[in-house]
Every structure is written in C-alpha cells, then in structure tokens.
Amino acid sequence: MPVQKLSCDFLANSLTCLPNKAKTEYCDSEVPGLYVSVTKATPGRGTFYLRYKDSSGKTCHKKIGRTVDVSLVDARKQAKRLKLEVSQGISPAAQAKAHREVPLLSAFYKDDYLPHAKRHKRSWRRDEELFRLRIAPAFGSLKLNQLTRKSVQGFHSALPAQGLSKASADHHVKLLRRMLNLAVQWSYLEANPISGIELFNEDNRLENYLTADELHRLLTVLRSDENRSVCLIAMFLLSTGCRLNEALQATWRHIDRGQRVWRILAINSKSKRMRSVPLNESALHILDQLGTEGEFEHLFVNRQTRRPYTTIMKVWERLRTKAELPRLRIHDLRHAYASLLVSSGRTLYEVQQILGHSDPKVTMRYSHLSSKTLLAAADTASVIVQRSNQQVAV
C-alpha cells in the first residue's frame, strides 16, 4: 500500500495498478485513512475509501465514491467528517446498514401503511387513489428517509396547476405526513422529514340550502317517482339529518319505535362514537312504508337483488334533475335538515347533538341561519313597540 500525496494530476495521469497486482491502494499522506483503490482492469479510474477502526477495534472500510464522480477535495472533506463521526462513537457501517434497511415509500405503503389503513380508516380507498395517481409517480421510488420538505412542498404547490383544488392538494400532503408519522412510530425513521409543511387550508365546504319552493319541488318528486326505495332513502335523510352511509347500513335491530330513537353504532358513525338519532313523525312514517321489517336485516334493501343498497347516486342524479335541482348533492339533505331545525328556533347545541358533530365548530356553519331566527324574534319586539307608539300617539 504505497503512501502518496494524492493530487488531481496524479489521479488523472498516474492512477494505475502496480505490476503483478490485481489491485493497488494509494494511501493519502494528507488525510490518514483515506485511500484510492484501483484495479488492473480499470486503470485511470479508482474509488475513494476511508479505512478506520470501529469501537471494537475491527478494521472497517467506508466507500466514499469513484474518482470520476467525487473530486479529491470533496473526498477529503467526507473522510474528515467520517473520522469525526467515528471519534464520536458513530459507526458509518452501521449507518449504511440502517439506510439499506429503510424501505422504499412504495413498499412501505403496500406492506405496512395500506393494511393498517384498511383496519382503521373507512376512507382508505381515497388514500389508495391519492397514492396511486400522484404520490407514487412522484416519490414511490424513494426511500422514506430520502423525502425532503423541499421536494414535497414543491409537489404540493404544483398540484393546483394540474387542475386540483387546494383542498385536494392538502389531502396529498396529509396522507404523506400520516404515512411518515407511522414510519416514525414503527421505528423506520427517527423523525418525520416533512412535518410542518404549510397547507393551503382552503375552505371548500359547499352548503346548498333549499328554499321553500325548492323543497316543495323536491318533495313532490320524492313522493311520486316510481323508484320508491331510493325516494324513501332520500326522504329519510331529509327527516333525520343522517349521512347516506349511516342510512344504508342501518338495521332494524337498532330501531327503537317505543323510544322513537335510532342508534347508530360507532363503526358506522363518522365520529367513531355511537349516537342516537331521534325519530320524528316523518321518519316513523317512512319506516312504515319500507316493508322490509321482519324480512330483512337492513332497512333499505334493493328488491331486485334482495341485498342492502350500497349506492343510490345514479338514481339520485335522475331525481334531482327531475326536481330541477341539478346541483343538489345527496349530502345537502343533511344541511337542509339542519337548516330546518335552526330556522325553527332550535339551538346550535341541539343541532350539534342531533347531527352528531364531535366538534361544535362544525355546527357553527349554521350560525347565520340562527342569526336570521334571532332577527325575526327582534322584529316581533319591534312590531309590539311600534304598536305601542301608535297607541300613545292617538
């Protein structure tokens, strides 16, 4: 192992294997431990290494890079940094092994995250869509510890230009952040490299409140259309304020006619807590029309397949068009129910309890409706005062 003060000229013109040797190592006289290895088959091209002893006294070799890829200056800088880490008890070999064991994002998603999400998230199919369409092409081939805040921030900022809403762009970062948080929890990473990325936080909530005329047109269609099963589902949503999936998963054993209550299990509730929905006269009348009690487990059953409904969107599209309400979403029936409650003078706390909002901030979206009710009450007082003034004037 000849000792040589390595130089750019030497590496460019004199880097050859010694005669009768398959490999020659040239040790740098400036940085002890740094050497260049060159083989007989590759004259003029070598590889930088650092030779060091680990904490047990074992001689180890850490590859720095090829001479055609790494300059001598950078090789010396890296060698000095590695020597400092060794002196502090950090093993480059152990670090390299740990790096090799960190999985690719695509492998982590398939083997670890997705099975976990299927057990804990009802919306895991949405995660699958986000990852497959955009996250995997951008980051799937990177290891978990190769993701950076800069790269993910750039990815996030570019999504609206691809036609996505800012809220949808945020969902991509939230999924990545959730995945990497679990990677930390499961000891793949020491810290989440993308924590703290600023989101757009765009409020894209759409709430279509039905006017009296629009409600009349909708009810006219729902009471007369030939598809009675789907019409009754829509009327049940309008009468209870429940979510579509909650209604489609409802079973007769959780209907208590005596107490006039419907219990939604935690597994079927968005808040993941069991809640009780009061059944008003309209809801009870709809239950009487179903004809599935005692014959089927679920309330709403497709008579043709004799199985519970899983979706009604195709029929709903036709019904709302027939009612001249082409933009009315099925979820807007829940908003309509809430608006009827608030407009009739019920408190936001009562609405929160009936709708099952875990956070009162969600219910506050209806506060402007409550303000209208208060204004109507104030106008009542105004009428009384004006009447008194007129009597005094007389």
Give the separation between CA 250 and CA 297, rounded to whole angstroms: 9
User: Quick one: pLDDT at residue 93?
Assistant: 66
**Residue 237 pLDDT > 90:** yes
**Does 163 lie in the same domain as 228?**
no
pTM of the model: 0.53
**Does 125 lie in the same domain as 66?**
no
173 in Cβ contact with 194 (< 8 Å): yes
**Does 357 lie in the same domain as 253?**
yes
* Mean confidence (pLDDT) of the chain: 86
User: Quick one: pLDDT at residue 159?
Assistant: 95
**Residue 394 pLDDT > 50:** no
**Residue 229 pLDDT > 50:** yes
* 89-95 CB contacts, 8 Å cutoff, 24+ apart: 89/55, 91/54, 91/55, 91/60, 92/50, 92/52, 92/60, 92/62, 93/54, 93/60, 93/62
Beta-carbon contacts of 278 under 8 Å, excluding residues fewer than 6 positions away, are 260, 261, 354
**Does 49 lie in the same domain as 86?**
yes
Q: Is residue 54 part of a domain?
A: yes
**pLDDT band per the 50, 70, 90 thresholds, residue 94:** low
**Does 139 lie in the same domain as 76?**
no
Q: Which of 166, 185, 204 is the last residue of a domain?
A: 185
Give the separation between CA 50 and CA 63, rounded to whole angstroms: 7
**Does 334 lie in the same domain as 269?**
yes
Q: Is residue 202 part of a domain?
A: no
Q: Is residue 382 part of a domain?
A: no
**Does 78 lie in the same domain as 37?**
yes
Mean pLDDT of 178-201: 90
Q: Which of 280, 293, 245, 287 is nearest to 265 (CA)?
A: 245
Helix (H) or strand (E) holding 62: strand 59-66
User: Quick one: pLDDT at residue 377?
Assistant: 53
Mean pLDDT of 169-191: 92
Q: Is residue 191 part of a domain?
A: no
Q: Is residue 190 part of a domain?
A: no
SS3 302: strand
pLDDT tens digits, one per residue of 6-43: 898 898 888 988 888 889 999 999 999 999 999 988 88
Give the separation between CA 46 and CA 16, rounded to whole angstroms: 9
**Does 292 lie in the same domain as 179?**
no
How would DSSP label each residue in 99-151?
A: HHHSPBHHHHIIIIIHHHHHHH-TTHHHHHHHIIIIIHHHHTTSBGGG--HHH
Residue with tokens 């995997």: 136
**Does 144 lie in the same domain as 93?**
no
Q: Which of 101, 122, 153 is the last residue of a domain?
A: 101
**Does 266 lie in the same domain as 357?**
yes
Range of the structural domain that residue 335 is part of = 212-374
Please tell me what DSSP assigns to residue 281: H
Number of compact structural domains in the chain: 3
**Does 260 lie in the same domain as 242?**
yes
Mean pLDDT of 371-390: 56
**pLDDT band per the 50, 70, 90 thresholds, residue 120:** confident
pLDDT tens digits, one per residue of 291-332: 999 999 999 999 999 999 999 999 999 999 999 999 899 989
